[in-house]
Structure 1
Amino acid sequence: MSEWLPPEEWFSKLAAFHAVVSVLITDTDGRVLLVKPNYQDRWTLPGGYVDEGEAPHEAAVREVREELGLNLQVGALLVVDWAPPAGARTRALMSFTFDGGTLDDPGRIRLRVEELDGFAFCTAAEVADRLPAAVSPRVSTARTARQRKCTMYLAGRGSVPFT
């Protein structure tokens, strides 16, 4: 016969992970907005880590406002991705990609120069070239999810739509 654990002990044994958000923003030609952080060598989608007590969709709105100076309404959740611990990150990562819509006037972007060196609207080939191999599938999957009007799940490779 097994004994029940006290709630504090049971909860302490559950998986813990970090949460990060990104926002898929395209221009009127369908190119994807990428940003170049000044604290790393690679490009990324606009976004960042979710703060303590913050919901992922709230973090997405905050990150776009902070990084790009845009007050966008964040739309549907397009992609949920899980990544195992890697390098200095000792916990799994849950990534939430939201739909940021189409930006018809890139002149509205006001980069936070303390954090970003630049931005670019990129073709699919440029996205694949600029993003790390583990991150690039989030963009193509997000574009598919936007078109299908669904949310898709990634687990490091492959995608499975769910409703």
Structure 2
Amino acid sequence: MITNKTENNIKKELKVVQYNTFICIYYIELNNKVPMYTFRVRGLSAILVAMLFLFSSCQLNEKKQPNEVVLEVAPFKVEGDAGAFRGEFYWVKEDGGNWGIFYNRIEGFEFEDGYEYVLKVRKDTVLNPPADASSLKYTLIQEVFKKKEENKRIDDYKK
């Protein structure tokens, strides 16, 4: 049985020990005090900081979680410049935003002229892309909608 006097002595002992940067956890049985775990606070803090740094630095080197976005693709392509390259690109609206030129490829998507599309795609960030390449990669998840639209022009998609 632990008495108040014994509890006070233990608190004082722990206080002194903590002051010296050690934490001792005592197992108390009938006034017999046996230190079971002893470790330096500074050492433990350093280990925890090192582990946090290690895990956070590992996550920085991995790809970010993929994002799913919805792309509306117009039934025609438009001419544009991508750096030194001039070519035809998709006219796209991403997640209900504004229509604009889409300079990227969509892996797994085969465009047919004259068809309007709604696509569900995964948008990944590419780490360390080549100097002339995009830092984003789009991959088709699902073709949600495909509709024949022969007579639409770019002015119809600027609304």
TM surpasses 0.5? no
Q: Which structure has more RCO (C-alpha within 8 Å, separation ≥ 6)?
A: 1
Larger radius of gyration: 2
Structure number with the higher strand fraction is 2
TM-score under structure 1 length normalisation:
0.31
